[in-house]
Amino acid sequence: MSAQTIFGSLGDYAKGGVEITGKDEPSRYLFSNMFEVAAKAKPWERIVVAKNLEFTIEVARAEGNSPWYSCAHDETALLMEGAMEIHFIQPVDANVMPRNDSEGAIRLHGEPKGAKMGHVIATQGHLTLLPAGSAYQFRPRLLGVVLIQSALGEESVEKWADIVQR
């Protein structure tokens, strides 16, 4: 028997589910679908869909250019649907950057001044490092979905009651 990989999208996904075995209760488990979450989200709302201690996986609806963000620690972005450029700047003003002890991404007020570090062109399945201390902006070419690995911070939106399977 051969396995078949099926990719989802904003327009075509299967919700899936959780099968509970034994005497456990379904209410003890969380299950949501990243495409369903992104389909109902505002552009660039970073909704937490998985959490392990302070670490998060956040899903964002990639629609229009994102705000500029920065983070005191490395993050990663995995493009699940669409195509985009991710632009990077090394800010010269330390006042616009997060403190070294802060967690999660912060939204910057406009494009920061500093040296342009280049950009990455990403399509479905590409994983991109978002380096600590840099500023970055997502510029989608197409409507898409991106998973961002980060830590719980001021840009992280927790909507557990709205996204969990019931």
Domain for residue 7, yes or no?
A: no
* CATH code where residue 59 lies: 2.60.120.10
Q: How far apart are CA 57 and CA 146, in angstroms?
A: 10
pLDDT in tens, the chain (166 residues): 687 777 777 887 776 666 667 777 655 555 568 899 999 999 999 999 999 988 999 999 999 999 999 999 999 999 999 999 999 999 998 667 777 677 899 999 999 999 999 999 999 999 999 999 999 999 999 999 999 999 999 999 999 888 876 5
Domain for residue 100, yes or no?
A: yes
Say whether 110 sits in a helix, a strand or coil: coil
Q: In the Cβ-directed half-sphere of 31, how many Cα atoms lie within 13 Å? A: 13
* Phi-psi label, residue 51: left if phi above 0, alpha if psi -120 to 50, beta otherwise: beta
C-alpha distances in Å from residue 29, one per residue of 13, 153, 164: 21, 23, 9
Domain for residue 52, yes or no?
A: yes
The domain in which residue 78 lies consists of 26-159
Sheet hosting strand 83-91, strand order edge to edge: 105-107, 69-71, 135-140, 83-91, 114-123
Q: How far apart are CA 158 and CA 122, in angstroms?
A: 26
Domain for residue 3, yes or no?
A: no
